[in-house]
Amino acid sequence: MGRQLRLCAGARRPSPFAVFGVGASAGETASIHIAKLEGGGRPSASVQGRPPRGPRGCPSLIVDTSGSARSNARFRGPCWIVAAGIVAAIALMAVIAPPASAHKGSPNYRSTVRAITPAESGVQVQVLNYDDRLLLINRSGKTVLVRGYDGEPYIRVLGDGAVEVNKNSPAYYLNQDRYGNVTVPSTAQPGATPAWQTLDKTGRYEWHDHRIHYMAKGTPPQVKDRNKRTKIFAWQVPIDVGGRPAKLLGDLYWQPPTGGLPRGALLALAALVFGGIAFVEIVRRRRRQGAPRGKAKAAWG
Ligand SMILES: [Cu+2]
């Protein structure tokens, strides 16, 4: 006995179930339906031309992947309201859940810039997204060079605002992933001649830097009490300003969790709300369908 797929059959407009059930358009759903029937199934009268259809509901078909098919004459409920609930829940999850991009900071940490030493007028640095990225703004009129993990030239922001990255710096590749899980090309070596690529002329650049966050998994051993702000380590990033060595200095802290519902609870709440709406709507419609036509008219107006 094969796995059963429940599909909307004979829909005259794109079916939400088709979209969510099998990831296909109404046309594709129909082709699956036909293929199964030709594979040995015995189409019932309803499949041949009279698909069962409830009032404003989606007629359904149970397709057995072993090759048999049978129509499901019983009204299965309004597809659109269930699908709308799923769409809304997914949309809410997209809002609540963090973006699935390669980079995202951890709200459990705060990385902070303490100083630029020696102090340089017109050079500003800040941490973005908790512990994720450094933002450098250079209005000093001098070239600011950021060095990579082996001291190699990595980024430079020229006095005229030109922003350049060295494609031969291993850091350029390692920083593409929060934990450096990337393959570094053999051409990228700490001692390689820099291959500068100009990105823009904004005088500012932001990049992920492994030096400013906790690279291991789990909770740092420095954290004895998760509800207490705790310093994890001090960090520094070597730079040159106008050809003179300097440093960005900062600190990484463990950040106690703040109040509010955790994400899992919010998702569960959303699922309950939308599931409840869908359930009530289905029951209401089934009752309406089951009631004698005259009485229903009287009851529902
Ligand atoms: Cu990192």
| Tens of each residue's pLDDT in the chain, 301 residues | 333 333 333 333 333 322 222 223 333 332 223 223 233 233 333 333 333 443 444 333 333 434 434 444 444 555 555 565 555 555 555 444 443 345 689 999 999 999 999 999 999 999 999 999 999 999 999 999 999 999 999 999 999 999 999 999 999 999 999 999 999 999 999 999 999 999 999 999 999 999 999 999 899 999 999 999 999 999 999 999 999 999 999 999 999 988 655 566 666 666 766 677 677 777 788 888 776 554 444 444 3
Q: How far does residue 235's CA lie from ligand 1's centre (Å)? A: 13
In the reported structure, the alpha carbon of residue 90 is separated from the centroid of ligand 1 by a whole-number distance in angstroms of 29
pTM of this prediction?
0.56
Residue 289 Cα to ligand 1 middle (Å): 59
User: What's the gap in Å between 133 CA and the centre of ligand 1?
Assistant: 9
Which ranges in the chain belong to alpha helices (H)? 16-17, 26-38, 45-48, 79-96, 170-174, 263-290, 293-300
Give the span between the Cα atoms of 66 and 90, in whole angstroms. Answer: 32
Q: Nearest CA to 230 among 240, 216, 220, 242?
A: 220
The pLDDT score that the predictor gives to residue 30 is 28
CA of 266 to the centre of ligand 1 (A): 29
CA of 253 to the centre of ligand 1 (A): 15
The pLDDT score that the predictor gives to residue 281 is: 79
243 C-alpha to center of ligand 1: Å? Answer: 27
- Angular region, 282: left φ>0, alpha ψ -120 to 50, beta rest: alpha
pLDDT value at residue 100:
35
Residue type, 80: W
CA distance 217 to 133: 18
Cα 231 to averaged position of ligand 1 atoms, centre (Å): 18
pLDDT value for 37: 28
Ligand 1 centroid from CA 105, angstroms? 9
User: Which residue bears the tokens 């293929």?
Assistant: 35
Rounded to the nearest whole angstrom, what is the distance from the C-alpha of residue 181 to the centroid of ligand 1? 9
Q: How far is the CA of 211 from the centre of ligand 1 (A)?
A: 7
Give the pLDDT confidence score for residue 224 in this predicted structure: 97
Identify the CA nearest to 165 among candidates 174, 175, 155.
155
**228: Cβ–Cβ under 8 A, 6 or more apart, which residues?**
254, 256
